[in-house]
Structure 1
Amino acid sequence: MQTKALKCKIAGTGAWGSYFENWSALQALLGGADLPEAKLKSPKPGIIPANERRRAPLPVKLAVESSWQATQDAGVEPNTLTCVFVSGLGDTDLTDYMCKTLASEHKELSPTKFHNSVHNAPAGYWTISTGTMSAANSVAGYEESVSLTILEAMIQCETENVPMLLTFYDAPVADILTPVLPNQETFAFSLVIYPHDADVEGKVLTAMVNQQEDASWPALNADSTYLTEMYAQNPAAKVLCVAELLNQPDGQITIPLSSGTSLTLACEG
């Protein structure tokens, strides 16, 4: 059984990873281009003031850089957008630091590291840096983080008739957690969406919730070990199947949403 379809228009895209620094570079890799020889270390989002940027952890830099790219691609003022940020893992380096500190004899936590450890830190950096006064939600759903975020944002976009910023990001996992969370790749991806009838350029994305229907993540079409391994291990990188969908003239995929439900996405235009 399916629910009523949701529709939106994709107006802007941003991306950042170890071997791509924008959406165009990621599109090239999805299309079969060779990996660059040099691996990128960390983005340097200019929207964050220099002092704060030096203290910002990698997940924050990933999310803010990708978000900024998407808003520039859409030609929209960042502070006009309602936001949904998502990470399947959060900042595991800071989680590891806090656990070790609290288990030690000296339990004083760094105030800076503590405030950066909260799950909505990237959303906070973004809204403060851009002066955004609209709502900014932070989501976590591990392997289903991507589908939950797309549904959340498309519902808000349609019911409130407002443009939205969606940002997906996950950083490499702290060493101590790699036996259970093997991700070692850096990834961020952002979309700016508008109501489907808005007078802006962009492809139309349709979403339909399927009840009582499980699904598995579809295989990527890209012939790239780097992308397929990241797709398998980095929760935020599950959005790569959506990126492939947007990189085609049209198409359709079905992705997991929760136990007993799935989300079908179709793209045209």
Structure 2
Amino acid sequence: MHAKELKCKVAGIGAWGNYFDSWQALQALLNGDTLPDSASKGPKPAVIPANERRRAPLPVRLAVESSWQATQSANVSPDALTCVFVSGLGDTDLTDYMCRTLASEHKELSPTKFHNSVHNAPAGYWTISTHTMSAANSVAGYQQSVSLALLEAIIQCESEGVPVLVTFYDAPVADVLQPILSNQQAFAFSLIIYPDAADIEGVALSVTVQNTPVEKWPTLRNTSDYISSLYSDNPSARVLCLAEIFSQPNNNATIAMPLSKATSIAFNCV
């Protein structure tokens, strides 16, 4: 049985992390530039109205800032895009708050925190802020979040013939969940993908699901402590293996990512 090859074009990219505030800044780090002297606390996406932005938790602001950058890079209106948002564990600070409150004597939850605790909160903030009426899916896949979200987005892009925004985001993990995931870095990354037949400029990407497992994620060329820590600890930052290819002038490469215990997903970038 031959696996079907899926194809798309990457037309825009956005990114945000504690030591970079754009795809261009992340590219520079991936290509060997030194870190800035100080880290940033978090993005302030202008597309979210000021009152809502003040109440928005870090995962929401990460996802929305990265998504907005990608739409600007692709020169596309956000309301033209179907969306896929993905996070390995979601907002663990709010998960911890909810569990502690409900386990206490006084069980009154903050309405704002309850509102923000749902896994699709970033997608909700994005679609409301940008007046997007297209479908917006929210995915969680722990360590396989990147490969699952990419497959979901590319299948939608090809089968429905529509451009898709796919955004990966994870914030530092709450202390109580550190034994499960040790991530202490904020990261967000967004791609705008178009059907392969679309008359636009972009990086061509072909994808195949393989009936052979891959146990390890691809090795990065960049070996800096910061990038290595991001890649190993932040589930959404596993997309850096693809971002590193995009950051090169001649980005011909093939990589394979884990997908499940019995399958993997191969990406060929041309």
The reply to whether TM is greater than 0.5 is: yes
Q: Structure 2-normalised TM-score? A: 0.98
Q: Deviations over 1:225-268 (max 9, x none)?
A: 10111100100000000101212321110110111100000111
Q: Are 2:262 and 1:267 aligned?
A: no
Amino acid at match of 2:58: L
Contact kept, 8 Å, 1:144 with 1:235, in 2: the verdict is yes
The residue correspondences of 1:1-269 to structure 2 (distance < 5 A) are 2-248=2-248, 249=250, 250-268=252-270
**Structure 2 letter corresponding to 1:82:** T
Q: Deviations over 1:59-105 (max 9, x none)?
A: 00000000000000000000110000000010000000011111111
Aligned residue identity for 1:148? L
Following TM superposition, by how much is the alpha carbon of 1:131 offset from its aligned partner in structure 2, in angstroms? 0.4
SS in 2 for 1:204: strand
- Show structure 1 runs of 4+ deviating over 2 A: 212-215
Deviation at 1:215, TM superposition (A): 3.7
Contact 2:147–2:265, Cα closer than 8 Å, also in 1: yes
Q: Percent identity?
A: 67
The alpha carbon displacement at 1:41 in A equals 0.5
Which residues of structure 1 form unaligned runs of 5+?
none
Deviations 1:119-157 (A, max 9, x none): 000000000000000000000000100000111010110
CA contact (8 A) 2:213 2:259 kept: no
CA-based RMSD of the aligned residues comes to 0.9
1:245–1:251: 8 Å Cα contact kept in structure 2? yes
Measured after TM superposition, the shift of residue 213 of structure 1 is 3.0
For normalisation by structure 1, the TM-score amounts to: 0.98
Residue aligned with 2:43, SS: coil
Q: CA deviation at 1:214?
A: 3.1
- 1:159 deviation in Å? 0.6
CA shift at 1:2, angstroms?
4.7
Question: Which amino acid letter does the alignment assign opposite residue 6 of structure 2?
Answer: L
Mapped contact 1:2–1:209 kept (Cα < 8 A): no
How far residue 106 of structure 1 moved from its aligned partner, in angstroms, is 0.5
Cα distance in 2, alignment partners of residues 123 and 217 from structure 1:
27
Q: Which amino acid aligns with 1:85?
A: F
1 CA distance for matches of 2:133 and 2:14? 22
Once residues 14 and 256 of structure 2 are traced to their aligned partners in structure 1, the CA distance between those partners, rounded to angstroms, is 23
Distance 1:2 1:242, change over 3 A: farther
Stretches of structure 2 lacking an aligned partner (at least 5 in a row): none
- Closer/same/farther in 2, CA of residues 19 and 2 from structure 1, 3 Å limit: farther
* Contact 2:56 2:116 survives alignment (8 Å): yes
CA distance in 2, matches of 1:252, 1:180: 31
Check 1:2–1:231 CA distance in 2 against 1; reply closer, same or farther (3 A cut): farther
8 Å CA contact retained: 2:213, 2:260: no
